[in-house]
Structure 1
């Protein structure tokens, strides 16, 4: 894992794209503050740039660096969640503009998975996390289901957990609206 952490961090620092295991499914990632890298992910996925992507962070204490106002309920949701949870917050800031949704929101998930947590600690910035598939195609449940088309376009492929054949599931998604209203988008 040490070499993967070193190589993935270096790729991210250079504006590169990585293919990596997350707390849910395998993802394509980049520096969430780098608009050129974000644009490359949209290109790789053949995804409309009007469809925002989420970011991974390892420490909830960093949330206020990337969101204007954190609703009080957000802290409770993050704390009590027993499975991966993506929360969409209004008022994104300090992220690549092409990553933020048209309404100014951003999806953020705090990872508890060992590799991504260590990667985020080393990199010290949020990392984009989007499923490792062409837009509209089935998300891969494990590494061997990722297409060669995706693999050939990234700058670094993490070796850690490539042999893990436990099918993974995407996270639950909750959107927080100004005023505290909660909307469940995916259970």
Structure 2
């Protein structure tokens, strides 16, 4: 796995897009601080730039580096959640501007998946994670269901096609600075 992570990191550092297994579904990713790499994902997915993408961080320390102020309730949600949970935060900082939603928010998840954890820890930066499908098409439940345009459109496919995934997208919760909590997707 170490060689696979090293190769993937090289692609991320070069501004390439990757196709990789996450703690939920197969995802398309890139360096979340690289504007041009993020732009390539929007183009590949044929996704409107106004629809923000999800970002993965390795731990609370990395989360705190990229969110101006993490609401106290976020720590409880992260600690007690028994399934993959993405939280939308206000005021992200230090990330590609085209990754951030028009209302100055960003969806971030800390994956528990071993490959994702090691990849992000060793890369030392957040990684974009968006489902491996063209916008509007169903989310693939396995590697075999990923469409040819996606497979051919990414710069690098992580060789873990036989890995089992959760096959369900994460829960998404929006936390506003004013204390409001809203469930976007269960």
Q: Tell me the TM-score normalised to structure 1 length.
A: 0.97
State the distance in 1 between where 2:184 and 2:172 align: 5
- Distance in 2 between residues matched to 1:116 and 1:167, nearest whole Å: 13
- Kindly report the root-mean-square deviation, in angstroms, between the aligned alpha carbons of the 2 structures: 1.0
- For 1:141, the equivalent position in structure 2 comes to 141
Taking structure 2 as the reference length, the TM-score comes to: 0.97
Measured in 2, the distance between the counterparts of 1:86 and 1:46 equals 23
- Equivalent in the alignment of 1:25: 25
User: Is 1:84–1:171's contact at 8 Å kept on the other side of the alignment?
Assistant: yes
Work out whether residues 13 and 31 of structure 1, in 8 Å CA contact, stay in contact via their aligned partners in 2. Answer: yes
Match of 2:159 in 1: 159
CA contact (8 A) 1:141 1:169 kept: yes
Check the 8 A contact 1:7/1:156 in 2, yes or no: no
CA deviation string 1:127-174 (max 9, x = no partner)? 0000000000000111000011101111110112x1245661000000
- Which is worse superposed, 130-139 or 3-12? 3-12
Residue 184 of structure 1 pairs with residue 172 of structure 2: no
* Matched residue count: 186
The structure 1 segments of at least 4 consecutive aligned residues displaced by more than 4 Å after TM superposition are none
* 1:15 paired to 2:20: no
Report the counterpart of residue 125 of structure 2 in structure 1. 125
| Structure 1 residues 24 and 166: alpha-carbon distance in aligned structure 2, compared to 1, 3 A threshold | closer
Runs of 5+ consecutive residues of structure 1 not aligned to the other structure:
none
- Distance in 2, matches of 1:51 and 1:147, equals 21
Match in the other structure for 2:86: 86
Structure 2 residues not aligned, in runs of 5+:
none
What are the within-5 Å matches in structure 2 for residues 20-59 of structure 1?
A: 20-59=20-59
Q: In the superposition, relative to structure 1, how do residues 166 and 89 fare at CA in structure 2: closer, same or farther (>3 Å)?
A: closer
- Residues 98 and 166 of structure 1, relative CA distance in 2, 3 Å threshold: closer
Kept after mapping to 1: 8 A contact 2:140/2:146: yes
Matches of 1:178 and 1:146, distance apart in 2? 37
